Amino acid sequence: MKFTEDHEWLSADGDIITVGITEHAATQLGDVVYVELPEVETQVSKGDEIVVIESVKAASDIMSPLDGEIVETNDALADKPSLVNEDALGAAWFFKIKVEDPDAINEYMSEDEYKDLVGD
Amino acid sequence: MANDDLKTLALADLHAELGAKFVPFAGYSMPVQYPLGVMGEHQWTRENAGLFDVSHMGQVMLPADAVAGLESLVPVDVAGLAEGRQRYGFFTNDAGGVLDDLMIARVPDGLFLVVNAGCKEADIAHLRAHIDGVEVIEDRALLALQGPKAEAALSEVLPGAAAMAFMDSTRMDWDGTEVWISRSGYTGEDGFEISIPEDRAEAFARALLADDRVEAIGLGARDSLRLEAGLPLYGQDLSPTISPVEAGQAWAIGKVRRPGGERAGGFPGADVILPQLGGNAPRRRVGLLPEGRAPMRAGVQIFDSEDAETPIGEITSGGFGPSLGSPMALALIDADTPKDISLFGEVRGKRLPVTQTKLPFTPPGYKR
């Protein structure tokens, strides 16, 4: 698993990368009440804002960490956005992206590097 | 945590001990939430009793002879306020807008006011320009205990509290300390606000928190609670450019201050506000229920159709209602908008349907 400075986690299975946010980010956001996900088959570029997470107090964006195509989104979040608070690293994944260059993931941080960043 | 430029509350150490997260708010480092989280704190207050530290708000004492002076600033029937009673009101400006909203209590030796933190300096200057003997109370904390179990919990430490009716305001002795207490609050629940000397506030708060029915609650839940209760927030739902009639607060304008009343008018902006009472305000406040789950927040523009070019209004406060289980918003819209039509809020470029609804969003728990 890799981590971005924007508190996303990336998990690779071949050329399919699953993306979610970290427990640290979920804690900072507070109770999540709504998640707006991208459409499947959307072509995205690294840095595109593709998910909106609404917590009780505020809305925040998450960006695509890589270039590729959205191949699946997590419909469970529509009915139960609180999954983000309950299981950020597992059941609350946001989208799967099919990338042309799976090695691009390696530019991101390891778990230890991420833990240093957030001071856990 | 605490930034050097921010004022800290007398109870800051207690909040930190309870695990509070702090945010800057109106110049203070304020507890925004505790480990229970905003949603949990909100629900706790609706079902049990929540203890809020609202010491950032301004407490002001006016002399007994300030009644006429205060009536020259607010459209409230201050003269008709009996000793031991409190009323809600607002300072108005010449344009008919609102400078701040406040609570006014008639106490044995004068008038006790509670004003918003962000406005208190301006309010005090405004009061001093019109009234002699304005005394700012700077050595008392202000706590609010809110929720259906507030009466039972408070009665354990202040047995006299249970006998108070909604909007009563009185003084009581707690362990040798004089507390100023009113049966009021800003959550839509039954509850009390208690002004207590700062050096006794922590002991008092700990006495309340020792009760299993009481949890400390932060600013985050205070906002969702007041919004579900349909209560306006100064700076959003009330402002210098929104008249109290537009904001749905005409009920607070006393009969004697209205046209035909004994002391009609005589407050800033009366020539704008009073004619609006007959239903002539250009805008009206409305409760909105977005149909999906996406919250619509302050600033979202409201349209009367999916393709209308010009908005008919704007959301002034919006968010998710934990007790309601759905998003909710207060909006200011053109007064001639039919009440039975669906409207649309534009969120991130998309027009999403919203239903107009009666306020409050959740039933009030006041004990009248």
> Within this chain, do residues B160 and B42 fall inside the same structural domain, yes or no?
yes
Report CB contact under 8 Å: B38, A36.
Answer: no
> Within this chain, do residues B49 and B161 fall inside the same structural domain, yes or no?
yes
In this structure, the number of other CB atoms found within 10 A of the CB of residue A46 comes to 13
Amino acid at B301: Q
Q: Please give the mean pLDDT across all residues of chain B.
A: 96
Question: Domain for residue A87, yes or no?
Answer: yes
Please report, for the domain that includes residue A65, its CATH number.
2.40.50.100
Q: Which residues of chain B have pLDDT under 50?
A: 1-2
In this structure, the number of other CB atoms found within 10 A of the CB of residue B75 comes to 29
Query: Is residue A19 a contact partner of residue A93, using CB atoms and an 8 Å limit?
Result: yes
> Within this chain, do residues B49 and B155 fall inside the same structural domain, yes or no?
yes
Provide the number of structural domains found in chain B.
Answer: 2
Amino acid at B115: V
Mutation target among B32, B33, B39 for the A interface, most CBs of A within 10 A: B39
pLDDT digits (tens, 9 = 90+) for A1-24: 999 999 999 999 999 999 999 999
> Within this chain, do residues B185 and B288 fall inside the same structural domain, yes or no?
no
> Within this chain, do residues B20 and B154 fall inside the same structural domain, yes or no?
yes
pLDDT digits (tens, 9 = 90+) for A41-99: 999 999 999 999 999 878 899 999 999 999 999 999 998 999 999 999 999 999 999 99
Q: CB contact, 8 Å: B232 with chain A?
A: no
- Residue B101's nearest CA partner among B76, B129, B131 is B76
C-alpha to C-alpha distance for B245 and B115, rounded to whole angstroms: 20
Report CB contact under 8 Å: A56, B293.
Answer: no
Q: Which of B220, B327, B348 sits opposite A57 (nearest CB)?
A: B220
Question: Domain for residue B109, yes or no?
Answer: no
Mutation target among A28, A57, A82 for the B interface, most CBs of B within 10 A: A57
Strands B135-137 and B58-63: antiparallel
Question: Domain for residue B207, yes or no?
Answer: yes
Question: Domain for residue B253, yes or no?
Answer: no
Q: Is A13 helix (H, G, I), strand (E, B) or coil?
A: strand
> Within this chain, do residues B48 and B163 fall inside the same structural domain, yes or no?
yes
Taken in order B246, B285, B191, B175, the sign of the CA dihedral is negative
**Per-residue pLDDT, A119:** 84
Q: Which domain holds residue B162?
A: 3-54+138-228
Please report, for the domain that includes residue B181, its CATH number.
3.30.1360.120
Residues of A in contact with B39 (CB under 8 A): 31, 56
**Which residue in chain B is spatially nearest to A33 when comparing CA positions?**
B320
Q: Which domain holds residue A71?
A: 2-102
- Choosing from B212, B228, B244, the residue where a domain stops is B228
pLDDT digits (tens, 9 = 90+) for B119-176: 999 999 999 999 999 999 999 999 999 999 999 999 999 999 999 999 999 999 999 9
User: What dihedral do alpha carbons B187, B192, B197, B201 form, nearest 10°?
Assistant: -70
**Per-residue pLDDT, B216:** 98
> Within this chain, do residues B204 and B348 fall inside the same structural domain, yes or no?
no
> Within this chain, do residues B186 and B324 fall inside the same structural domain, yes or no?
no
Report CB contact under 8 Å: A52, B348.
Answer: yes
Query: Is residue B245 a contact partner of residue B271, using CB atoms and an 8 Å limit?
Result: no
Strands B86-92 and A68-73: unpaired
pLDDT digits (tens, 9 = 90+) for B234-273: 999 999 999 999 999 999 999 999 999 999 999 999 999 9
pTM of the entire structure? 0.93
Provide the number of structural domains found in chain A.
Answer: 1
Supply φ then ψ for residue B238, to 5 degrees: -125, 140
